[in-house]
Chains A and B, each alone.
Chain A
Amino acid sequence: MAISEQFSLEGKSGGSPEVLDRVKPARMPRLPLVLNNRSFSWITDKVCGIVEEKTPLWWWIAFCCSASLAGFTAIGLTYLVSTGVGVWGLSNPTNWGWAIVNFVFWIGIGHAGTLISAILCLLKQKWRTTINRAAEAMTIFAVACAGIFPVFHIGRVWFAWWLFPIPNANAIWPNFRSPLLWDVFAVSTYATVSVLFWYVGMIPDLATVRDRAKTLFRKAAYGLMAMGWRGSNRNWSNYEMAYLLLAGLSTPLVLSVHTIVSFDFAVSLIPGWHTTIFPPYFVAGAIFSGFGMVLTLIIPLRAIYGLHDLITQYHIDCMCKITLATGTIVGYAYSMEFFIAAYGANPFEIFAFINRAFGPYAWAYFIMFSCNVLVPQLFWFKYIRERPHVVWIVSILVNVGMWFERFVIVVTSLARDFLPSSWGYYSPTLVDIFTFFGTFGFFATLFLLFVRFLPLIAVAEVKAVTPQADPHYYQGKQHG
């Protein structure tokens, strides 16, 4: 028999080459994305039920706690504006203290949301559908927290609009050569596109909530947000195309945002910052920290609402693996920085790195390295990935580590600047601490409101990935 005949696809109803009958290829079973073969209406009831039920007691307790915590940011900022930026622990040359650390930390967290919603959409990773809505919400709220810091760091916050190219009384425009201006464009574009992507993705689900609404107020509120969506396939056709294009646009956007954030450092001439590895290193770190935050949020949500059929062990597994992969990339970047500093033979660069790991901030470097590089290695083990409480603890350590990474980068290079007479030890003040910890309250408050009022799982998208959604599933049942 000729080889071409052997591998011929024709003449076989199943469409598989004959050779496959003989060799018995290994089969990797495709895990179901929705467990227990749940029906469409079960999915609708489960997710919309969360929005429709009476507000649970735990929600009120959590909401009061997080809103009170958010008050600390308000207190910190009010004190700052009424007194002056001197109340922060900043000094010369450590002009960038906690404020910039917190900015980079929060903006980085957002990146996992866009990765899940855009990059995994382009890569046709269907498991993204159950977690993308919550992850995108996380992105938006994290960017909102991030925005607070640079705006108040400029000192006279009432002039923050000078950052934008708007004509002002001084008749001077912003300097387009400055990475800080690029940052303004990158972060504001990121915030806008993330909100739009999130909202567009939610329109069909808002229509579902609208159609289930009992009271006039709910009908009107969700009706307005759903914009008259009626599930017409002529609409779906344009909608799907728009969604795909937004995913295509968000992908280069998310990679550019943390690249440009890293330019704030890399384009300067400070030893330890002026390196070409910064953009990929920052992007990997951002995705790493973002997945940490997604796990921190998703695991309790799954437990509280009993979403185990929708957010399965497979989802947790996938997220753990991405966390492990990006954490290892970050570890590689830490090592490569040292190698290049040594190989580059620039004494200032060598000093910056030795100082980073063994200088006065060695304790911070130690926390960073162990939380970001060593702890995620636990995710190699299935045993660990199957224990949600362990995964949850690791996910928190990931974010502790990533905050310290930004602290190490910002502070160690600045506190040991070119002029040894101005060297010092940077410490935050109580105002710094209030403002930063308050943002966790702000973030949690926004997230709780989201969970309460909007469908936290993309209902229409999850339905589309169930087996019964596929017309071919019914072949042989009714028609040949």
Chain B
Amino acid sequence: MARTDIFGLAADFADPGVLMAAAQQCREKGFEKWDVITPYPVHGLDEAMGLKRSRVPFFTFVGGAIGFATGTFIAWYMNAFDYPIIVGGKPFFDPIFPFPVMYELTILLAALSTILGMFLLNGLPMHYHPVMKAKGFASTTDDTLRITIEASDPLFEREGTRAFLKEIGGANVQELED
């Protein structure tokens, strides 16, 4: 029963305790395209919403592995292959002496790809999102706790979902423009 003329519905909740219970009910009801907007990360809300573990660590691992390989490669290529430098009769390449470089590049690329991964998964930078136009959005980065259910969700019904949001303790239910 998807509606296209609105983005969805939003409702505000009085405190994190009510919010948590409401999120659990949304999850149990079977909604898929819904979200909770909070000014700070609410502990335990991921479990209440049934979110899977974030995939950011995958990016971190790949970045770290690339960094380590890059460090190893440049030390070998620059000091042993392209322009072998003789220093104190030491071997041209050995994994020990350039280890600090390998180590630092591992951390550097892992950190960069962690942030890249977080941005990609969150869709940042985001120029516009319908929830930003809602009434009272500005206070959601202050102290308002809000649940939004999107119209594209298969279970969404304009009136039914409005009633559901009120039933689970939501106040100021409003329609979000697309």
Given the complex, which residues of A lie within 8 Å of B140, measured CB to CB? Answer: 211, 230-231
Bound: A174/B101 CA distance, A: 12
Contacting pair A241 B54 (CB below 8 A): yes
**Pick the contact of A227 from B36, B114, B117, B124 — CB < 8 Å?**
B124
Q: CB-CB < 8 A to B44: which residues of A?
A: 471
Interface string of B29-60 (1 = CB under 8 A from A): 00000011111111111100101011111001
Decide if B16 touches A471 in the complex (CB within 8 Å).
yes
Instruction: Determine whether B160 belongs to the interface, using a CB cutoff of 8 Å to chain A.
Output: no
**Partner among A197, A207, A245, A260 whose Cβ is within 8 Å of the Cβ of B60:** A245
Name A176's contact: one of B101, B103, B107, B128 (CB within 8 Å). Answer: B101
Min CB–CB distance A290 → chain B (angstroms): 19
Query: Given that A175-B85, A196-B115, A245-B114 are contacting pairs, would A253 and B107 also be in contact in the complex, using a CB cutoff of 8 Å?
Result: yes
Q: Which residues of B contact A453 (CB under 8 A)?
A: none
Within 8 A of A (CB), among B83-120: 83, 85, 87, 90, 97-98, 100-101, 103-105, 107-108, 110-112, 114-115, 117-119
Residues of B within 8 A of A477 (CB): 17
Q: Please determine whether A41 and B60 come into contact, CB atoms closer than 8 angstroms.
A: no
A40 with B143, Cβ < 8 A, contacts A171-B83, A230-B129 known: yes
Q: A461 near B101 (CB under 8 angstroms)?
A: no
Q: Does B105 contact A189, Cβ atoms closer than 8 Å?
A: yes
| Interface pair A172/B83, CB less than 8 Å apart | yes
The residue from B19, B75, B79, B104 contacting A471, defined by CB atoms under 8 A apart: B19
Contact in complex: A464, B40 (CB < 8 Å): yes
* Bound-state Cα–Cα, A469 to B38, Å: 11
Among the 9-residue stretches A28-36, A138-146, A232-240, A324-332, the one with 4 or more Cβ atoms under 8 Å from chain B is: A232-240
Q: Chain B's nearest CB lies how many Å from the CB of A232? A: 5
Cα–Cα distance between A193 and B64 once the two chains are bound (Å): 13
- In the complex, what distance in Å separates the CA atom of A178 from the CA atom of B32? 56
Q: Is the CB of B16 within 8 A of A474?
A: yes
Decide: A227 near B125, CB < 8 A? Known: A237-B46, A471-B42. Answer: yes
Residues from chain B with a CB closer than 8 A to the CB of A39 are 143
Say how far B54's CB is from chain A's closest CB, in angstroms.
Answer: 4
Q: Is there an interface contact between A228 and B125, defined as CB atoms closer than 8 Å?
A: yes
Residues in chain A near residue B155, CB distance under 8 A: none
Q: Is the CB of A235 within 8 A of B98?
A: no
A65 interface residue (CB < 8 Å to B): no
Give every chain B residue within 8 A of A210 (Cβ-Cβ): 141
Inter-chain contact A478/B45, CB cutoff 8 Å: no
Determine whether A10 belongs to the interface, using a CB cutoff of 8 Å to chain B.
no
- Taking the closest CB of chain B, its distance from the CB of A213, in whole angstroms, is 9
Contacting residues, chain B, for A474 (C-beta < 8 A): 15-18
Known A172-B83, A177-B90, A473-B17: A242·B40 in contact at CB below 8 Å? no
Binary contact readout A208-222 vs B (1 if CB under 8 angstroms, 0 otherwise)? 101110000000000
Which stretch, B1-9, B130-138, B170-178, touches the partner chain A?
B130-138
A161 within 8 A of partner (CB): no
Contacts of B75 in A (CB 8 A): 176
Tell me if A238 and B78 are in contact (CB < 8 A): no
Tell which of A77-85, A149-157, A179-187 binds the partner.
A179-187
Please, could you name 25 A-B residue pairs with CB atoms under 8 Å apart, sorted by A? Answer: A40-B40, A40-B143, A181-B101, A182-B100, A189-B104, A189-B107, A192-B108, A193-B108, A208-B39, A211-B137, A211-B138, A212-B138, A230-B126, A230-B137, A233-B42, A234-B51, A242-B54, A460-B39, A464-B41, A471-B44, A471-B45, A473-B16, A474-B15, A474-B16, A479-B18
5 interchain residue pairs of minimum CB distance = A474-B17, A228-B126, A173-B78, A40-B143, A242-B118
B interface residues with partner A (beta carbon < 8 Å): 15-21, 35-46, 49, 51, 53-57, 60, 74-75, 78-79, 82-83, 85, 87, 90, 97-98, 100-101, 103-105, 107-108, 110-112, 114-115, 117-119, 121-122, 124-129, 131-132, 137-143
Residues of A near any B CB (own CB < 8 A): 39-41, 44, 165, 171-177, 179, 181-182, 185-186, 189, 192-193, 196-197, 200, 203-204, 207-208, 210-212, 227-242, 245-246, 249-250, 252-253, 256, 260, 263, 460-461, 463-464, 468-475, 477-479
